Structure 1
């Protein structure tokens, strides 16, 4: 699969295929498996910096864009590479592209031909005392201004010519110094190409090794079928099962707590009844004793009779105030709850939990053989890849590319040595560059290789070799899917609560706990134990006894008063505390039993619903979980194959070093090292040459102001100028001496002529014979 594709790519079977547009692909990532090829680092820099001279190159580019504004006809180049060039159909496009160059070439040829011809004619004309060769000069008012104008113009033009010449020197220096750097650039590029050839087999090995990583991940999931598949099935049932079991477990605790509350309350009621009976006995004894004491003869003697009668009238208050003894005990309800608890509901609920938790174990036990079959299938894929790897030696295929690289490298080294040894190659480069004047080097489209994409994407090999065919594992995935589809997992023995547990819940509902008349118990336990406050009664009795004279009656009353106080402290106070405790117990029992029947009914209904859900949906849950589990296993390999596809198309054998080498050869060496400086060189020379013609014109115009020649004053035609009286100079042709009388106005600047008279000044100069055109001294 992936190995075959890599082998095809490395053979370079793309041949002459040309990339027309980039191939886009979407990289897939996963939280489970992540694959990443090691990044290959290359020496050669991606971009080349021209430095300050780049400004001059930019100036040349502007000129070239004006000369050659049309885009390069790339389709013609493609037709040439495909051997489909049609001269009759494509020559118009070539002419249109090269129209500016053609015009410049024509102008250059005209300049080359006409410049000597015009110069020759100018020489002939000058030798005939024409075209600036005449030795007669007419002095004018604006002569000084013209001389300055011509001199400044000539200076400016010479500066432009000098700039052009400086361009040529700079271009020549740049060319010479950067040719020396070519050796280092070549070494760097060839090291990168060798790195590409060395790294590609390692990348392929890494891609193949990742199959083992993928297989190990799949094996790990298969070994964890208990938690991954069984756990997923259990998780699908959890929302329906666990809440029911939790409610039953909570109800078991309620039953136990209810039993405890019933037992405590019932025992407290028994103790309360005994305490009240004892209180009744004690009060009855006191009451009897007081009645006997009041039968004393002293009570028939006034005024003691009144006191005795008052005491006798209050004796009926010494009595019990409650009917607790009449309310029933909770023995029946307690017996019913104890009967419910004879069934160990806690163990039954725990069995339900255990049956639910055993689902993953059941799944593992029933999928042992299928897991082995799937592992065997995955191993067969690995064996298939291993066999193909043994049949094809990538390193041997790559070694075929090493000989051409070594040959090209040796060839370039020889040429570079000759280029350094013989400067005559510089002339060849200049001629070649002159032919390339106007070449914008935009035909090289700085491609997918530049983005470090693989050869597969760059050469559009998908048109020849469909990667999907080599990465197709449909047969294997169908087998794996069939294994999961044929899973026969049976989970039919999950019983959340058996019949005994269900009957216990129903018996608890019918135990009568929720039908107790709690209001009666609460009413009786809130009453005071006695009809009267015994302490107040004792205080009154003491007061009455103090009104009697000493004797048996008084002693009896005081004794009973003390007995009443002991009854209050020893019996009434504990009885009150006991009644308060029973009151709270009754309240708690009432709270626990409130809505007990409805709660149990809801639990039983939820239990039946959960049990039906398990029976009805367990098969579909197993199928869905198995499908998802199988898709997860297969998804690892789909992810792996997708990564293999992306790696082959975009990463393996990434041709960035090739693009960099082409950049180095075309853009850096040919364009930046040769074409750019030569363009600048010829641009400077052309600039100097273009300004040469106006320089010659201004030089000729300026020359007459610095030559020794006959002069004619502009004031000879004016009547008032004393030039008419000026003595004529005598010329001695033998001695070549001239004596001339010059008016003082001529010596003064033209702007300040003499207004009255002129003086004569004799000036002797060497002059040339008539017709001599040599330049004289500056006047």
Structure 2
């Protein structure tokens, strides 16, 4: 926010502009933000100014035999302790300078930067390769999107070629909700007519069989009763043992008689004749013709839409040509060609100047190495001084009689002190410059780039151009009012979205206008809406069939006296069950004395059984058939006229629907059919839009280039290495101060003195 305010603030040339309250506050805020760098830089400058001055004064002071310059050492009891402490402190300071925060850290940072610069060529080539792939693949991706229109067109053409099964079957299915039940009802009625004929025939035959059978049965029962009566009149029945039994049998003879009388039942020949006349016309065949005509609906649709479908196919072909033509007019190819040329030139420029970069990096590496060598030279003198002084020191020798090795160690220490004064200010100049530069780049570029606040600064209205609210849209579209920001573009590219979405290229060429579905489907929908399908040729049931149904309803079966039939049918054939009568007769014969009477009665019982088996059972079967047929006729005749009229009304309603109201169904189904065809284009358009927005020309390589340039090269390679370098070199420079003090103090114990004092008690 502070950077944005500073960048936005317009400082004039007059002193009054700087004295404005808002400018004063902004200046103080900037100073407060940079206070750490300012204080550190001030301390560094103080170090640069004071250390050479102190060194000069120190040299002049020693030349005057002061500041330890006098070659005289006073002997003390704790001299060994002081010498050991000074040597230890100097060694620790030198060790810190060399290893912990010193020259090794600076050298590692220097070498790391060189290695990264040498390896950057591979990274840069990889980015150029990604950009080339990005530019080369984009036209192929666009061509692929355009080519997929053929898939949509082929699917639409397939549905158009199958208009019969698709549209015709839909129309047939909707009309069939009324047509099929009506035809099914007629077909059911045709079956009822056949069943009625069979039932009437069964009634006629059964009545004839029953009439003839009952006459024969009546005659046979009369004969059996007469013969049995004659047997009972025999003198044997007068005996006391047989009289009661014979009387019982004689009293039961009246039961041997028929019970049902079928001779008075009315005939059904007139009804049968009328039904036979009805069946002369094959109603089922007429219904099947209606089914066949209705099932030909898909073929009628195909035949009647052939010309319109041909026009629709021509429209689809023209749409494909228009899409191809429009894509060729887009500025994409020209823009990509220009970018490819620029990219090739940029790559050639980088390849040409990369050796120059490596050469200058070598000079930088050499300069930094020299700075490290300065520190190493000082450390060498200190270590040699410690080594020679420690090894050559003889505690029994007096200061004036110290050995050559010890004296050399002291001289090395003083040489290190001298070089420290000579080099430390140079080192600190480099430290201050790299600290201020590297620290500010880290704080003002790298960290804001990491959390994307750097882009917010770049997106500040009227910052990069005082006349443009949005700089990026002003550059790309010459329209600074379009809300296109660096942050949004970078974020979209990081998510690998398409460049069309990332750069809001709809302001350059609006793909939505090009892919407006109404542009391409209006003609198709208009053609489909003009489809006219005439189903009046479909005849479900002609007048002959309807008249046939009416003739059946007036066949007279409802006039049959079903009550008379059911009354006789519900009666038994004989008044008594002949089998039971025969069994009872045989049982009573067994009660009689053995003889001719017993045998005669048993013979009559067997005769009655034979009559039952040969005549009664067939009559019962005929009565069962008659019962089923009469009840079937009764059900069929119940409200027959109403049923027939309802069937005819249903057929007429279905026919009316086909002739007059089918257009409503056809319009509805045609609308659904059109929606299906148009839906293919809508799906294609949505897929194209989604692909262009998210997949075509995915701009992740652009974000990678920015990351490579800023995050990797500037921040990771350069800034981190520079910050590590000034940290190591600065630490070494700081620790040179205590090293100077300890070296000066320690050299007094190693160098050979000109004079000495007596031991101080």
TM-score, normalising length from structure 1?
Answer: 0.68
Task: Please say if residues 206 and 626 of structure 2, whose CA atoms lie closer than 8 Å, have aligned partners that are also in contact.
Answer: yes
Question: Does residue 107 of the first structure (1) align with residue 39 of the second (2)?
Answer: yes
Task: Please say if residues 526 and 580 of structure 1, whose CA atoms lie closer than 8 Å, have aligned partners that are also in contact.
Answer: no
* Alignment correspondent of 1:190: 128
Task: Please say if residues 2 and 30 of structure 2, whose CA atoms lie closer than 8 Å, have aligned partners that are also in contact.
Answer: no
* Alignment correspondent of 1:279: 217
Question: Does residue 236 of the first structure (1) align with residue 280 of the second (2)?
Answer: no
Task: Please say if residues 141 and 696 of structure 2, whose CA atoms lie closer than 8 Å, have aligned partners that are also in contact.
Answer: yes
Number of aligned pairs? 635
What is the CA distance between 1:319 and its match in structure 2?
A: 0.8
Residue ranges of structure 1 left out of the alignment (5+ in a row): 1-69, 80-85, 710-732, 742-779
CA separation of 1:309/1:378 partners in 2, compared to 1, >3 Å: closer, same or farther?
closer
CA separation of 1:570/1:153 partners in 2, compared to 1, >3 Å: closer, same or farther?
farther
CA separation of 1:594/1:701 partners in 2, compared to 1, >3 Å: closer, same or farther?
farther
Task: Please say if residues 304 and 533 of structure 2, whose CA atoms lie closer than 8 Å, have aligned partners that are also in contact.
Answer: yes
CA separation of 1:644/1:365 partners in 2, compared to 1, >3 Å: closer, same or farther?
same
Question: Does residue 655 of the first structure (1) align with residue 699 of the second (2)?
Answer: yes
Hey, what's the Cα distance between the residues in 2 that align with 1:435 and 1:376?
A: 68
SS of the residue corresponding to residue 189 of structure 1 reads: helix
Hey, what's the Cα distance between the residues in 1 that align with 2:644 and 2:90?
A: 118
Task: Please say if residues 162 and 688 of structure 1, whose CA atoms lie closer than 8 Å, have aligned partners that are also in contact.
Answer: no
What is the CA distance between 1:555 and its match in structure 2?
A: 6.6
SS of the residue corresponding to residue 153 of structure 2 reads: helix
Question: Does residue 672 of the first structure (1) align with residue 716 of the second (2)?
Answer: yes
Q: Deviations over 1:681-713 (max 9, x none)?
A: 334545665xx27x846985999799779xxxx
Hey, what's the Cα distance between the residues in 1 that align with 2:122 and 2:521?
A: 53
Question: Does residue 531 of the first structure (1) align with residue 575 of the second (2)?
Answer: yes
Question: Does residue 73 of the first structure (1) align with residue 4 of the second (2)?
Answer: yes
What is the CA distance between 1:677 and its match in structure 2?
A: 2.6
CA separation of 1:544/1:115 partners in 2, compared to 1, >3 Å: closer, same or farther?
closer
* Alignment correspondent of 1:745: none
SS of the residue corresponding to residue 445 of structure 2 reads: coil
Task: Please say if residues 589 and 602 of structure 2, whose CA atoms lie closer than 8 Å, have aligned partners that are also in contact.
Answer: no
* Alignment correspondent of 1:420: 358
Task: Please say if residues 172 and 681 of structure 1, whose CA atoms lie closer than 8 Å, have aligned partners that are also in contact.
Answer: yes
What is the CA distance between 1:350 and its match in structure 2?
A: 2.0
Hey, what's the Cα distance between the residues in 1 that align with 2:594 and 2:609?
A: 22
Question: Which one of 226, 230, 236 corresponds to residue 164 of structure 2?
Answer: 226
* Alignment correspondent of 2:674: 630
Range moving further from structure 2, 609-618 or 87-96: 87-96
Q: Deviations over 1:723-777 (max 9, x none)?
A: xxxxxxxxxx986252344xxxxxxxxxxxxxxxxxxxxxxxxxxxxxxxxxxxx
Task: Please say if residues 509 and 600 of structure 1, whose CA atoms lie closer than 8 Å, have aligned partners that are also in contact.
Answer: yes
Hey, what's the Cα distance between the residues in 1 that align with 2:521 and 2:716?
A: 55
CA separation of 1:324/1:235 partners in 2, compared to 1, >3 Å: closer, same or farther?
same
Residue ranges of structure 2 left out of the alignment (5+ in a row): 11-16, 369-432, 456-486
SS of the residue corresponding to residue 531 of structure 2 reads: coil
Question: Which one of 440, 458, 483 corresponds to residue 445 of structure 2?
Answer: 440
What is the CA distance between 1:122 and its match in structure 2?
A: 5.2
What is the CA distance between 1:421 and its match in structure 2?
A: 4.2
CA separation of 1:241/1:533 partners in 2, compared to 1, >3 Å: closer, same or farther?
closer
What is the CA distance between 1:199 and its match in structure 2?
A: 1.5
Hey, what's the Cα distance between the residues in 2 that align with 1:484 and 1:245?
A: 31
Q: Deviations over 1:295-337 (max 9, x none)?
A: 5577678787666554433221111122344444554554454
Hey, what's the Cα distance between the residues in 1 that align with 2:206 and 2:140?
A: 88
Instruction: Give matches, 1:403-552, under 5 Å.
Output: 403-422=341-360, 423-426=362-365, 433=438, 436-441=441-446, 442=449, 443=454, 445=487, 447-471=491-515, 477-511=521-555, 521=565, 524-542=568-586, 543-544=588-589, 547=592
Q: Deviations over 1:214-260 (max 9, x none)?
A: 32222222222222332332233232222332333333334433443
SS of the residue corresponding to residue 443 of structure 2 reads: coil
Hey, what's the Cα distance between the residues in 2 that align with 1:156 and 1:601?
A: 123
Task: Please say if residues 72 and 97 of structure 1, whose CA atoms lie closer than 8 Å, have aligned partners that are also in contact.
Answer: no
Hey, what's the Cα distance between the residues in 2 that align with 1:157 and 1:265?
A: 137
Task: Please say if residues 157 and 313 of structure 2, whose CA atoms lie closer than 8 Å, have aligned partners that are also in contact.
Answer: yes
Task: Please say if residues 101 and 438 of structure 1, whose CA atoms lie closer than 8 Å, have aligned partners that are also in contact.
Answer: no
Hey, what's the Cα distance between the residues in 2 that align with 1:266 and 1:389?
A: 88
Task: Please say if residues 90 and 742 of structure 2, whose CA atoms lie closer than 8 Å, have aligned partners that are also in contact.
Answer: no
SS of the residue corresponding to residue 564 of structure 1 reads: helix
Q: Deviations over 1:409-432 (max 9, x none)?
A: 222223333333451145899967
What is the CA distance between 1:98 and its match in structure 2?
A: 6.0
Instruction: Give matches, 1:534-573, under 5 Å.
Output: 534-542=578-586, 543-544=588-589, 547=592, 557-573=601-617
* Alignment correspondent of 2:259: 321
What is the CA distance between 1:154 and its match in structure 2?
A: 11
Hey, what's the Cα distance between the residues in 1 that align with 2:2 and 2:209?
A: 115
SS of the residue corresponding to residue 440 of structure 1 reads: helix
Task: Please say if residues 163 and 302 of structure 2, whose CA atoms lie closer than 8 Å, have aligned partners that are also in contact.
Answer: yes
Q: Deviations over 1:111-162 (max 9, x none)?
A: 233114443565547869999999999999xxx99x9999899969975995
CA separation of 1:468/1:405 partners in 2, compared to 1, >3 Å: closer, same or farther?
same
Higher helix share: 2
Task: Please say if residues 456 and 462 of structure 1, whose CA atoms lie closer than 8 Å, have aligned partners that are also in contact.
Answer: yes
* Alignment correspondent of 2:101: 164
CA separation of 1:259/1:132 partners in 2, compared to 1, >3 Å: closer, same or farther?
farther
Hey, what's the Cα distance between the residues in 2 that align with 1:307 and 1:259?
A: 54
Q: Deviations over 1:341-369 (max 9, x none)?
A: 33322222223322322222222222222
TM-score, normalising length from structure 2?
Answer: 0.69
Task: Please say if residues 152 and 681 of structure 2, whose CA atoms lie closer than 8 Å, have aligned partners that are also in contact.
Answer: yes
Task: Please say if residues 452 and 650 of structure 1, whose CA atoms lie closer than 8 Å, have aligned partners that are also in contact.
Answer: yes
CA separation of 1:294/1:381 partners in 2, compared to 1, >3 Å: closer, same or farther?
closer
Instruction: Give matches, 1:197-276, under 5 Å.
Output: 197-276=135-214
Hey, what's the Cα distance between the residues in 1 that align with 2:5 and 2:657?
A: 71
